[in-house]
Structure 1
Amino acid sequence: MHLLEKLHRNVKTIAMPSAMVVGALLCRPVAWLEATSHQMITPTLIFLMLFVTFCRVSPKQMKPSMLHLWLLVIQMVLCVGVYLVLRPFDVVVAQGGMVCVLAPIAMAAVVIAGMLGANVATMVTYSLICNMFIALVAPVFLSYTGTGVCTFSQILARIAPLLIGPFAAAQFCRFVFPKTAHWIGDHGQISFYMWLLSLIVIIGRTTCFIIDLHDASISTELWLAFVALVICLLQFKIGRMLGRRYGDAVAGGQSLGQKNTVLAVWMAQAFLNPMSSIAPTAYIVWQNFVNSFQLYRKDNQRRKK
């Protein structure tokens, strides 16, 4: 067992960059496989991944806190601020930057945060609160700054099945099959490998999207990627600073920094200038490099102890 745990720790440090390289190199086969499955591979993996994680959490442990409130306030302030600052320079870049902030916390953030030592109950609570809140406010932002009318039901339809579904299934399992739920919760590392598979698919689709862009300006693409990098680092930093004040720096950082980029790309393509989706597309890469570095640093700290 000790050997398996040691192998798992070593794999984690290189797993995310390796998954991104594999997804990029095999982008065409991956995109074809995803299309053949009617875009169901990633949602299925995310559902199962969250189900495994949610089996560890009881509803009694879930309590909203001031950390959650401040995270939402900062996200809204940053969202407005980024758009207003960038709009005079380039509307497309402003839209791309805005959607990188507007996107809710990623479904996988709970998994990664748990591996980094965050309070899983805190993360699950915020995941539910943030996604429901963004479903309410996103239509306002997207309709005002974009090219089409967005509704609450459109956003909710993208969020609810992959958030409420696995949570309800996990709590049902905890109530009806407590031993099974306990076993699943004790083997939470399974969710990490499911996340790696979904990351390969996401990066594969992302790479194909970038390759197939023919009318995009190279300078605009580079600015969108650069803005996404700055926003990514800024959100992780602010989130960690805020989380540290409430005793959980990791939860704060992952809650504000790790975004549901699949939803962000869809929002940009559906309601903003489609070229602005390059920003959340680049954000996928940046946030996973940040996560890889955090996992590497966490494993080094464990070895020293």
Structure 2
Amino acid sequence: MLSFIKNWTLPLAMLAGAIGYLGFAHFSFLAPTKPFMNSLITVLTPLLIFLQLLLTFCRVNPQDLWPVRWHGWLLLFQIVSCLAMVGLLLWGKMSVTYKEVLEGAMVCLICPTATAAAVITGKLGGSVSALTTYTLLSNLLAAIAVPLLFPLVEPHADLSFLTAFLKILSKVFPLLLCPFIVAWLIRRFLPKLHACLLNMHNAAFYLWAVALTIVTAQTFKFLFQSDASVWVEVWIGLAGLITCAIQFLLGKQIGTHYHDRISAGQALGQKNTVLAIWMAYTYLDPISSVAPGSYVLWQNIINSYQLWKKRRKEAKK
């Protein structure tokens, strides 16, 4: 039973999120709990993301973190592509529909690498240390870019740019960088606690599943409550597909040039989608969270195919 749940965690977590939202939406006896649940989700989602990153970085030896050349090209692509989306959103004359699609694409492009990418990279035969280094660098990039750019494309009438920037910075920067600092301090000064956290190697996976359930429920909430048409939602979902395909392909192309095709492909293509969904519905038009929501499916389809292809290749040897 446990093996079945672990193998099918992605669809089960998303199904649980959908059922959870529909339950709260249609059963009146749950209505009194809604304010509490909304407050809990507001706190719980970033906490789960923080804990996932902490457990991941606890497994990393800082001495193994060395930037390589392809890191620079991938970071350059992330920031340039995100700036291109910002430019179109600020100066392009378009309807609200295209604005929502571009916001969805933007969050998929700037989102940092998934914590689980190191596991997939190792299984595919890539460099785990290079991938982990890029995970940290992409978190740093997102921690700086998101507070700077998101208030520009989704301004709030009651907040100045500086106020909005500081508000987002105060939430995103600690969320993305403090886990690494805390993990380093634990490794350095609390070796027993560090050893204990290392033994909890499966905990990050289950934390991810819980977080995915929550953000899926939130995405369904915005889908059902949005005035956007089904076609708009389809276009936003396609934005997730297009950005996913481009990033996997480009990452592999750049990686091939530096003899690290697998690691670079995973670094740019596999995203921390739970974080992306949370950032989208918190700081952008909530309907844009459909893009990273669909990205979850696309990246898992691509990785499942790559793992199957590798298993088949090994079986022939």
Normalising by the smaller structure, the TM-score range is: 0.7 to 0.9
What is residue 15 of structure 2 aligned with on the other side?
Answer: 21
What is residue 131 of structure 2 aligned with on the other side?
Answer: 123
1:42 pairs with 2:42? no
RMSD of aligned Cα (Å): 3.7
- Equivalent pair of 2:16/2:213 in contact (CA under 8 Å): yes
TM-score by length of 1: 0.77
1:51 pairs with 2:54? yes
Deviation of the 1:303 alpha carbon: 6.6
TM-score by length of 2: 0.74
Deviation of the 1:252 alpha carbon: 1.8
What is residue 133 of structure 1 aligned with on the other side?
Answer: 141
Aligned pair in 2 of structure 1 residues 140, 126: CA closer, same or farther (>3 Å)? same
Deviation of the 1:146 alpha carbon: 3.9
- Equivalent pair of 1:221/1:278 in contact (CA under 8 Å): yes
Select the residue among 144, 149, 172 that pairs with 1:159.
Answer: 172
Q: Deviations over 1:148-203 (max 9, x none)?
A: 43755334323333333332332233234436534643652332233222222222
Q: Deviations over 1:114-153 (max 9, x none)?
A: 5655444333322332222233334554355444437553
Unaligned runs of 5+ in 2: 26-33
What is residue 4 of structure 1 aligned with on the other side?
Answer: none
What is residue 246 of structure 1 aligned with on the other side?
Answer: 258
- The aligned length equals 298
What is residue 241 of structure 2 aligned with on the other side?
Answer: 229
What is residue 188 of structure 2 aligned with on the other side?
Answer: 175
Select the residue among 72, 77, 81 that pairs with 1:74.
Answer: 77
Select the residue among 84, 95, 99 that pairs with 2:103.
Answer: 95
State the AA in 1 paired with 2:298. Answer: W
Q: Deviations over 1:241-271 (max 9, x none)?
A: 3234334434322322233445544554566
Unaligned runs of 5+ in 1: 1-6
Aligned pair in 2 of structure 1 residues 99, 129: CA closer, same or farther (>3 Å)? same
* CA distance in structure 2 between the aligned counterparts of 1:14 and 1:296, rounded to whole angstroms: 16
Q: Percent identity, aligned pairs only?
A: 38
- Equivalent pair of 2:147/2:169 in contact (CA under 8 Å): no
What is residue 3 of structure 1 aligned with on the other side?
Answer: none
State the AA in 2 paired with 1:165. Answer: C
- Equivalent pair of 1:27/1:204 in contact (CA under 8 Å): yes
- Equivalent pair of 1:228/1:279 in contact (CA under 8 Å): yes
State the AA in 1 paired with 2:109. Answer: V
